[in-house]
Amino acid sequence: MKTEPLVLGIETSCDETAIGIVRGRRLLANVIASSVEEHALFGGVVPEIASRAHLESMLIILDTALKESKICLNDIDAVAVTAGPGLVGALLVGVASATGLALGLGKPLYGVNHLAAHVSVDLLTHEAPVESTIALLVSGGHSSLLQVDDITSSVVKLGESMDDAAGEAFDKIARVMGLGFPGGPAIDREAKLGNAKAIDFPRGLTQSRDWLTRPFDFSFSGLKTAVARYLEATPTYARADVAASFQEAIVDVLLLKALAACKQTGIDTLVIAGGVAANSRLRQLAQERAAVAKVRLRIPPAGLCTDNGAMVAALGSLMVAAGRAPSHIDVEADSSLPVTTVSLP
């Protein structure tokens, strides 16, 4: 095995068919085919449409990724694939494709965790390695606070959303406000035109008793209900002000909890990852608050925050470099794979 392993990663957990290729920590290719426009017609992701889109796109983006990276399949040292969590039908397309490649090439296969991969992609954009870190993982399906001592083997869940994930709340409120799907980018754009202090929306699980019993958990269902009621009671509402105030409530809570986790654990590095990490207000406020708290902040470029194959390849590369055992060639997709399980045996 080379000092810097050449790893191909496949991601099909939801509505992006993605393949990334990395050599060590250097990104060679990151190709994504999204079916989001098809899902937008229905206001959310339709699993059957996503699975079919993966099947139709897989060979095309594989060929494109190989051309971009200027390698051939036989150069690959290992294949990594998202084995979970995600939509089971979508995951199966990726796992089956990766299994076929690994078998055909005679290379090891790593079935890895989609959520851990989101954290791993940060290492493609920073030269300095990070040992222990707090990771705030925020996406359409997950909002979690993690203590990561070794991304290839030791991930501890400190807290998670008790109901809607942050990205899910963005989608639902955007739909109510007629902003379309996906909701996160739409609300981010609208919020730039509004006043984030115009409406004092609630911050879930931030009362004194909550800090004692569930300090690192999130809840966005109450916020979602409060916004919906405000819209119903205020027919002449200013859409930009609602978007900005709603976004501020989510971002405020995410950072309050994340920086509290840094303080309690004594870990002075915070990684923010996942699709919601592309939100411009979250990135701006995180910079400001991390500087005050003297916490080193690391956020991947916005293009690597949403689902992509580079993050899967990055985690696979780290697994190879750390000498972790590969998965069995008959590894199965697990739609509810817990974040603490970095890879499947």
Contact 79, 316 (CB under 8 A): yes
Q: Could you state, in order of their start, the residue ranges of all structural domains in the chain?
A: 6-122+305-321, 131-299
Give residue 219's identity as a one-letter amino acid code.
Answer: S
Q: Return the residue matching tokens 């594989």.
A: 62
Residue 140, pLDDT score: 83
Residue 127, pLDDT score: 73
* CATH topology agreement for domains 6-122+305-321 and 131-299: yes
The pTM of the full predicted model, rounded to 2 decimals, is 0.94
Q: Which residues pair with 144 in a beta bridge?
A: 137, 160
Neighbour count for residue 180 (Cβ, 10 Å): 13
Mean pLDDT by 10 residues, the chain (345 residues): 84 96 95 89 87 96 98 97 97 98 98 95 79 92 94 95 94 94 96 98 96 97 96 96 98 98 97 96 98 97 95 96 96 96 97
Spatial separation of the C-alpha atoms in residues 280 and 295, rounded to whole Å: 19
Q: What is the pLDDT of residues 3-59, one digit of tens each?
A: 799 999 999 999 999 999 999 989 999 999 999 888 887 888 898 999 999 999 999
Spatial separation of the C-alpha atoms in residues 55 and 20, rounded to whole Å: 17
Residue 130, pLDDT score: 67
Peptide bond between residue 215 and the one before it cis (omega within 30 degrees of 0): no
Q: In the CATH scheme, what is the homologous superfamily, with its name and number, of domain 6-122+305-321?
A: ATPase, nucleotide binding domain (3.30.420.40)
Residue 1, pLDDT score: 43
Alpha-carbon distances of 230 from 115, 194, 201, 236, 297, rounded to whole Å: 34, 16, 9, 11, 35
Q: In the CATH scheme, what is the homologous superfamily, with its name and number, of domain 131-299?
A: ATPase, nucleotide binding domain (3.30.420.40)
